[in-house]
Amino acid sequence: MKRALGDGYELDDDPARVDRDAVYAFLVEVYWSAGRPRERQEALIDASARVVGLYRDGRQVGFARAVDCDAAGFVYLADVYVLEECRGRGFGVELVREMIDNGPFAERRWILHTRDMHALYAKFGFGPKERLLERWPPSWRPPG
């Protein structure tokens, strides 16, 4: 899939196109993945069932990945971002829409974690679930 969004922006789900340097440079700084080792980030991208990149004139300016947890019956949405300079134009909405509504997992249950983007995900029917619990291994540093 490749979809033009106008003004030089496009979405593409070709994993070979992902600029892993750009993705890592962003993700190593944000609350949910700060300090994630590069090798771990590479493994997470490789293990993802789908990646969608947002590009402007060929430059990576956004990203999202999906983990197919088929045995558990859901898909996990992770590492969604749009660079600050490109925000406010609906690209985050288009990135999430392409990932969850237009992809191969459109009929599956989705979950994600966020501390600050509830309004974006609510547009797609995501809502809080009071039964979700997490356990972090002692060697990991939980986000936030």
Q: Which two tokens stand for residue 20?
A: 């892993």
The predicted structure's pLDDT at residue 144: 55
Global pTM value: 0.89
The answer, yes or no, to whether residue 141 has pLDDT greater than 80, is: no
- How many other β-carbons are positioned within 10 Å of the β-carbon of residue 131? 4
Instruction: Work out how many domains the chain is built from and give that number.
Output: 1
Q: Please classify residue 6 by burial: count the beta carbons closer than 10 Å to its beta carbon, then call 0-12 exposed, 13-18 middle and 19+ buried.
A: exposed
Q: Which domain holds residue 45?
A: 2-122
Whether the CB-CB separation of 110 and 74 falls below 8 Å is answered with yes
Residue 140 domain flag: no
Residue 22 domain flag: yes
Residue 141 domain flag: no
**Could you report the per-residue pLDDT of 9-58, keeping only the tens digit for each?**
999 999 999 999 999 999 999 988 988 999 999 999 999 999 999 999 99
**Could you report the per-residue pLDDT of 89-129, keeping only the tens digit for each?**
999 999 999 999 999 999 999 999 888 898 899 998 988 87
Residue 134 domain flag: no
β-sheet with 9-12: strand ranges across: 2-6, 9-12, 50-56, 59-69, 74-82, 109-111
Query: The domain that contains 44 carries what CATH number?
Result: 3.40.630.30
Residue 136 domain flag: no
Per-residue pLDDT, averaged over 72-81, amounts to: 92
Q: How confident is the model at residue 143 (pLDDT cuts 50, 70, 90)?
A: low
